[in-house]
Chains A and B, each alone.
Chain A
Amino acid sequence: MKSFLTLECLSKKFPGKKTDSDYVVFDDISYTIEKGEFVCIIGHSGCGKSTILNVLAGLDKPTTGYISMEGKEVVGSSLDRGVVFQNYSLLPWLTALKNVTFGVKARFPNKSKAEVEEHSLKYLQMVGLGENVNKKPSELSGGMRQRVSIARAFATHPKLLLLDEPFGALDALTRGNIQDELIKIWNETKQTVFMITHDVDEAILLADKIILMSNGPGACIAEEVLVNIPRPRERGKVIDDPGYYKIRKHLIKFLVERSSDFTGDKVRKSPITVDPTQDN
């Protein structure tokens, strides 16, 4: 069966100066994502996570390899692939509501003005922004801004949602609250999500699978870690799951000890899958 999303032998290289060899950000990235999966990618800075996400979003081009979604090659940007950026990327001259209708209008050009507004308000409500919809981004806190950005992305019903470290700039408490909102909205929409994060706990809370990247340059996918914790998950309860600390330990051990000297097994076509909850 064809996978929903296939990354085939992606690499990104920058030409070196005359004598140097090319600078390789990542090499030979192959991976598949099924419909409805929530995949997080973790790795140290410089391993090319953001570049992979930008390639998926159509904002950057890989040096080699290709991506296909539902059997069609991914070229350029499309509303089928929604993006939430770390710095929110709201248009500051528009109100929260107008920022969302901006996306909804682009996605559903045939909707009437009232329908667009109703649809947008529904998603703003979902992320808990019911009362502040007529404020400009500058009048909203960082957390509120990111909620608007998430509402905009979900409201456009993309087939694939790309989240580029969406909570990286938020304090821990705010981050927790928005993670709850994200889980809620994800439970309702069952979006396919590809998310970059630096936060191990966040990845375990949200993801079905976690991709571990080895360090750059020349980064590759080291492992695919299954998060074998039943849904629906809650922030307060997920830590009581017996598998939680096994997964957490596995991830941290990798990031601290193994990621730097990991050399990809070039023969293998797809990364090994690990389920830490099954280990003893």
Chain B
Amino acid sequence: MSSLNIKAAFLSIVILFVGLALWEVFNQAPKATEELDEFALLMGGEDKEARVPPPSKVFKHAYKELSDPFYDAGPNDKGIGIQLFYSLVRVLIGFGAAAAIAIPLGFVIGMSELMYKALNPFIQILKPISPLAWMPLALFIIKDSEKSAVFVIFICSIWPMLLNTAFGVSNVRKDWIKVAQTHELSKLKTAFCVILPASAPTIFTGMRISIGIAWLVIVAAEMLVGGTGIGYYVWNEWNNLDLNSVIFSIIMIGLVGMTLDLILNALSRLVVYEE
């Protein structure tokens, strides 16, 4: 590893510890300096004032949660692992369905100027709609909150993959198409042996953007539909005023999102080529 990377890693760790230290120091309960009045005594003293918990408490809580991530003690008390699992399954189903439609459709749009021009107005109108705006309609039509959440993931994942696939396919270098032509490749063979590998890196970029958006949206969607999932968990812990859990789950959402991105990045390396 280069010395730059080592320096960067070292600096990251320093920033982390300084940040945590500042958070810790400025979040100590204020010392009782004078006699508590009757009200304060009734409320259990100043120390019980609601306050963002310091990192030490969050870590203690995180350790407890992570040492038993899959416990299930009823509908309102499930381990973080179970909640994340529910969210991941929804994201993967919605994302998978979106990919199954967006990539072939994007291919068609990219190959045919007519289809591109015909479908472009619809895409331009549908694309900027916040995925959560679909929720009421989805709930009404599907009549199932869980499936509606999956639908919202589907609808938000579809656009980046559709547009990136169409862009990648329509921008395949003409020289490579000529190579296919002069080798008498059939349309289908040209699509699979030349256009697909040529546009694969662009398609993967679309998939990375989509899964990132899907993971952003699932939290909000689950806050609305409730029941299970990491979004529901965050909102439920907020209702419980358990800020330790809220902060802990925020960090977990970030870690899982990063992992999803890393996985897709690793997959896209398999298809990337240098010109």
Residues of A within 8 A of B (CB): 57-59, 77-79, 81-83, 85, 87, 89, 91-93, 102-103, 106-107, 136-138, 156
A85-B178, A136-B273 given; A93·B184 CB < 8 A: no
- Chain A hits for B184, CB < 8 A: 77-79, 106
- Chain B hits for A83, CB < 8 A: 178, 182
**Can you list 24 A-B pairs, Cβ within 8 angstroms, ordered by A?**
A59-B178, A77-B182, A77-B184, A78-B184, A79-B182, A83-B178, A83-B182, A85-B175, A89-B175, A89-B178, A89-B179, A91-B179, A91-B194, A91-B197, A91-B198, A92-B273, A92-B274, A92-B275, A102-B193, A106-B183, A106-B184, A107-B183, A136-B274, A138-B275
Contacts A77-B182, A106-B185 known; list 16 others, CB within 8 Å.
A57-B178, A57-B182, A58-B182, A77-B184, A78-B182, A79-B182, A79-B184, A81-B182, A91-B179, A93-B200, A102-B183, A106-B183, A106-B184, A107-B183, A136-B274, A138-B273
B10 interface residue per 8 A CB criterion: no
- Chain B hits for A87, CB < 8 A: 175
Residues of B within 8 A of A (CB): 175-176, 178-179, 181-185, 193-194, 197-198, 200, 271, 273-275
Alpha-carbon distance between A184 and B217 when the two chains are bound, in angstroms: 64
Alpha-carbon distance between A103 and B183 when the two chains are bound, in angstroms: 6
Main secondary structure of the interface of B (DSSP, over half): helix
- Closest B residue to A87 by beta carbon equals B175
Alpha-carbon distance between A18 and B190 when the two chains are bound, in angstroms: 38
- Closest B residue to A81 by beta carbon equals B182
Tell me, rounded to whole Å, the shortest Cβ–Cβ distance linking B174 to chain A.
10
Total of A-B residue pairs, C-beta within 8 Å? 53
- Chain B hits for A78, CB < 8 A: 182, 184
CB pair A93 B175 closer than 8 Å: no
Picked from A58, A77, A91, A138, the residue with its CB within 8 Å of the CB of B176 is A91
A91-B197, A92-B273 given; A58·B181 CB < 8 A: yes
Alpha-carbon distance between A91 and B196 when the two chains are bound, in angstroms: 12
Main secondary structure of the interface of A (DSSP, over half): loop
Alpha-carbon distance between A87 and B176 when the two chains are bound, in angstroms: 11
- Closest B residue to A106 by beta carbon equals B183
- Closest A residue to B272 by beta carbon equals A93
Tell me, rounded to whole Å, the shortest Cβ–Cβ distance linking B264 to chain A.
19
- Closest A residue to B178 by beta carbon equals A59
B181, B197, B271: most-surrounded residue (chain A CB, <10 A) = B181
Tell me, rounded to whole Å, the shortest Cβ–Cβ distance linking B90 to chain A.
34
A85-B175, A87-B175 given; A93·B197 CB < 8 A: yes
CB pair B182 A82 closer than 8 Å: yes
- Chain A hits for B271, CB < 8 A: 93
Tell me, rounded to whole Å, the shortest Cβ–Cβ distance linking A103 to chain B.
6
- Closest A residue to B181 by beta carbon equals A77
Alpha-carbon distance between A9 and B17 when the two chains are bound, in angstroms: 81
Alpha-carbon distance between A1 and B96 when the two chains are bound, in angstroms: 64
- Closest B residue to A57 by beta carbon equals B182
Alpha-carbon distance between A43 and B201 when the two chains are bound, in angstroms: 40
- Closest B residue to A105 by beta carbon equals B183
Alpha-carbon distance between A89 and B176 when the two chains are bound, in angstroms: 6
- Chain B hits for A103, CB < 8 A: 183
- Chain B hits for A156, CB < 8 A: 183
- Chain B hits for A106, CB < 8 A: 183-185
Tell me, rounded to whole Å, the shortest Cβ–Cβ distance linking A53 to chain B.
11
Tell me, rounded to whole Å, the shortest Cβ–Cβ distance linking B5 to chain A.
24
Alpha-carbon distance between A69 and B271 when the two chains are bound, in angstroms: 40
- Chain B hits for A93, CB < 8 A: 197-198, 200, 271, 273
- Closest A residue to B193 by beta carbon equals A102
Tell me, rounded to whole Å, the shortest Cβ–Cβ distance linking A154 to chain B.
14
Alpha-carbon distance between A136 and B176 when the two chains are bound, in angstroms: 15
- Chain A hits for B193, CB < 8 A: 102
Tell me, rounded to whole Å, the shortest Cβ–Cβ distance linking A78 to chain B.
6
- Chain B hits for A89, CB < 8 A: 175-176, 178-179
Alpha-carbon distance between A79 and B182 when the two chains are bound, in angstroms: 6
Alpha-carbon distance between A91 and B268 when the two chains are bound, in angstroms: 18
- Chain A hits for B198, CB < 8 A: 91, 93
Tell me, rounded to whole Å, the shortest Cβ–Cβ distance linking B15 to chain A.
37
Tell me, rounded to whole Å, the shortest Cβ–Cβ distance linking A246 to chain B.
37
- Closest A residue to B273 by beta carbon equals A93
- Chain A hits for B194, CB < 8 A: 91
- Chain B hits for A82, CB < 8 A: 182
Tell me, rounded to whole Å, the shortest Cβ–Cβ distance linking A58 to chain B.
7
B179, B181, B274: most-surrounded residue (chain A CB, <10 A) = B179
Picked from B178, B182, B274, the residue with its CB within 8 Å of the CB of A138 is B274
A58, A77, A91, A137: most-surrounded residue (chain B CB, <10 A) = A91
